Structure 1
Amino acid sequence: MTTADDGDGPAADPYETADLDDAAWDRQVVWWDRTFVAIVLLTVAALPLSGQRGTSLWVAYVAMAAILGAYAAWGARAARSRDQRTAAAYVVVLIAGTSVTVAQNGVATLLLFGAFTQLWMLLEPERRAVVASVVLAAATTVGIAYQGGFDLPTLLEAAPQMAIALAFAIMLGLWVATTMRRSEERARLLHELRRAQAELAESHHAAGVAAERERLAREIHDTLAQGFTSVVTQAQAATAALDRGEQDRARERLLVVEQTARDNLAEARALVAAFAPVPLQGSTLAEALRRLAERFTAETGTPVMLDVAGATEAPAVAVGGATGHAAADVVLLRAAQEALANVRRHAGARAVTIRLTRVDTGTAADVRLEVTDDGRGLPPGQVDGLGLAGMRERVSAVGGTLAVEPGEDGGTRVEVHVPAAGGAA
């Protein structure tokens, strides 16, 4: 049995929940159909076996045929559609047919097993089923009294028996209704939980896709975009050298173009394969910074002084250890790349210095990367540009800090601190 929708139930996603409830209910109704038909057929067989003959037997058969016909026309449909008007029409025939059959022979009280059950199955809410059960019990009591002569002693004898049957039917019906209501509520809650889980998984997937896109954008900006900028710059320098007839100078620029293009190709393959940055594969951060400095000097002609004294053995700056170590190395390398890119684009510097040091405070240790130049510094608003914003996000992701400020002797100083894996020395 199901309860009527009185507006107090959950309103979320009613169509999907109703579809699930209806599918489960239809499977149960099939068994109710078979059980009820079996009870009627048993009663049909029991009447002649009890000695019933003549007109009264045929009256009972006609009454039971009316019940079956009404069930086929209205009851079965009402059980599936839960339409209360159709159910009420069938219940009238059921009560009348049951009382007429019982009036012909007391054995027909077998029909009450199916009749009480159908009242609770078809009628909603429970109070309607209670009223119908009382009416059925009263009508059956009258039928039993009619069979015994319809006198007061017979009526008083049948009444307590039907009162007990009525009390049992009501208690059982209420228990079944409560159980099924709770079962439906659990099914609804389970459906809502699954839907919420699906929505959460979709949300996490969307967030993961967005985060991956942002990561790839930063990776491309810090590697491929800077490499292509270098290729364009060196190609322009080579063209200018050819125009001046400086073939050796042009050849040098073209060699830099070729090497930069190869490095960019390797970076692209590493991004596709989700590997560590190419400069860090099989080497320490200090070695990767040295190659970065040499490449920058070759491309721009601006000398880069690299100072990594005391940092080469620091746990957080040696690739090949834990994943956290490699993450810090990547952050520091990308920060150095972005700082040099800004020097190339904006500084007009004559010299650049890169320092990588380990700072121990007794309770903790940091690795500090400092990139300074003697140029004209960043133009106003550049601190919020894409490159520095991405650098700041990278540094924050590993628990570090980033500072971009004017240098002591002019130019710009970029300083990055990240926690050293392994704590204090």
Structure 2
Amino acid sequence: MARSNLAPASPGLRYGLHALLVGLAGFAVVRAFVVSSPKAGWVLGVGLAFVFVYLAGAGTARRRRDHPVPRRVALWWVTGLTVLWAALTWLSPEGAYLVFPLFFLYLYLLPGHRGVVVIVLATAFAVVALGLHLGFSVGGVMGPLVGAGVALLIGWAYGALRREAEARERLLAELIRTRQQLADTEREQGTLAERARLAREIHDTVAQGLSSIQMLLRAAERDVPEPGAGYLRLARETAADSLAETRQIIHELTPARLGEGLASALGRLAREQAERSRIRIEVGTEEIELPMATQTALLRLAQGALSNAIRHADASRIDVDLARDGDAVSLTVRDDGRGFEVEGAVASAHEEGSFGIQAMRERVAQFDGTLDIASTPGHGTTVTARLPLHSESEATE
């Protein structure tokens, strides 16, 4: 039988249901012999069959906890139980008591309106069977009706609890994924910033020193006669080889995606996203000297904004602009999609466990910047991130 996150809610409830069904079936059988019913033999046979079928299905479900029984088999099982219960109730009025625990099986295996319909039919059958056995009375009618009402209320509460638990699990999973993504991004930013710092340090010290040595040796080579000039020439060539190797090291330390600058990286990102989404994406940028950490942050912000626009905006065109704005750099992602109410959408996204916008805000906050989202239903959305231009040391700390 199919299982859910809360089924069974606890071993106590599961074993309690088992004991209730077996106990009520046993009570019907014993009662038939106590009153010397002429149908006692039939009641015994049907009662044993009912208990056997129920325990066989429950045992199979327990053994296959990791591989639930197919739904079709579970439906045949509950159908067989219902037929045996109807036969037992027709033979003995005490069999009608079994309908109450059966209600919970119906609600579990037949969620939604189907379970309610089956409960109504089972209740009607129990009322008729009791009336034929004992005569129709208020108690004979109200008993099954009250039992059905209580079962439906408990089933509704259980369903609400299950939905809340599933929502919490989704929220927790999204939170864990987002936290991991933020941690990975922070590590990536730190790694890229450190690689960029090393590349700059090597460029400004070793590479510049080797270049100066090469120039000085070239000048000295012209003024020194042989054989000294030959040694100077050899030293100059050695310095040139070392300078070439140093530049190769600098190139390898530069992050691949940002190796040609942020403008080129944004262009590649736009082309990749346009090919996947079939949406026209235009990039307008100016080449700006930025710390590697700032470049990485702006690239990640562009990725997040483009992803949101492609998934939710239903846009035909997206524009990405990067420009210097006084003592700051601004990244603007603008789409011509359907737009939305900003405050309501942000609150709804937070309630549903979507952390895309929150992650962008946190990333901007790391650089003491600002994130502005402007949107109107039917008139598109504009996301603008503005990061101050700190000194190189500040950006890489």
State the TM-score, normalizing by the size of structure 1: 0.46
TM-score by length of 2: 0.49
* Structure number, greater radius of gyration: 1
